[in-house]
């Protein structure tokens, strides 16, 4: 029985969102990416300490798989900053959309995982997003994202647009 019921998103830390979107769109045919530029995550903590990373977030669908690109614009402490510094650009976390983040976080903590980052969503400012790591593992970080009707409706809208994408306008404003 897997720790997470499904994988809803794969996420990559990038240095340049526009260049990364061009790669995904032109080379891999994935897009369009819906972009939220220079946003913060309310109530953000990294390893238990408050911080304010300034981020550009870009989301697209590759079939049923959501792909997120994360670019950090400042030097505020975060897993994104440390990943880029330690490893360079690349695959940084996987996300699962959760019916009950608090319950799932408690289950992960009971299994020995630790909270790496915790925040409220950049998009609605109220739903919890929690990043967990498995100490001693070289594996990725796991993000739990609280499902809400509004968030899931927005994701469904993005996915529908992606299904009919003609390859133009690879970057669009977040709906």
The share of the chain scoring above pLDDT 90, in percent, equals: 86
Alpha carbon separation from 37 to 55, 132, 164, 175 (Å, rounded): 7, 25, 24, 13
Contact between residue 119 and residue 101 where contact means Cβ atoms under 8 Å apart: no
pLDDT at 64 over 80: yes
Return the pLDDT at 1. 63
Cα–Cα dist 173/161, whole Å: 13
pTM: 0.95
Say how many CA atoms lie within 13 Å of 83 toward its Cβ. 24
Alpha helices by DSSP H, listed for the chain, are: 17-22, 28, 79-87, 101-110, 149-163
One DSSP character per residue, 84-129 reads HHHH-SEEEEEEEEES-HHHHHHHHHHTT-EEEEEEE-TTTSSSEE
Q: Which residue is it, tokens 């020995």? A: 112
Beta bridge partners of 98: 146
pLDDT tens digits, 74-127: 999 999 999 999 999 999 999 999 999 999 999 999 999 999 999 998 888 888
Structural tokens at position 26: 């032109």
């Amino acid at each position: 029985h897997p720790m997470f019921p499904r994988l809803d998103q794969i996420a990559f830390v990038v240095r340049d969102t526009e260049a990364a979107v061009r790669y995904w769109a032109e080379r891999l045919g994935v897009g369009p990416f819906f972009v939220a530029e220079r946003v913060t995550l309310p109530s953000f903590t990294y390893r238990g300490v408050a911080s304010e990373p300034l981020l550009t977030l870009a989301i697209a669908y590759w079939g049923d798989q959501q792909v997120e690109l994360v670019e950090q614009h400042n030097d505020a402490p975060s897993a994104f900053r440390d990943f880029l510094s330690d490893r360079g650009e690349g695959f940084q976390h996987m996300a699962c959309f959760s019916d009950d983040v608090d319950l799932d976080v408690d289950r992960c903590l009971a299994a020995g995982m630790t909270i790496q980052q915790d925040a409220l969503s950049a998009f609605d400012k109220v739903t919890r997003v929690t990043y967990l790591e498995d100490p001693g593992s070289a594996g990725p970080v796991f993000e739990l994202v609280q499902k809400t009707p509004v968030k899931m409706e927005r994701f469904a809208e993005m996915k529908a647009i992606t299904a009919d994408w003609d390859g133009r306008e690879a970057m669009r404003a977040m709906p």
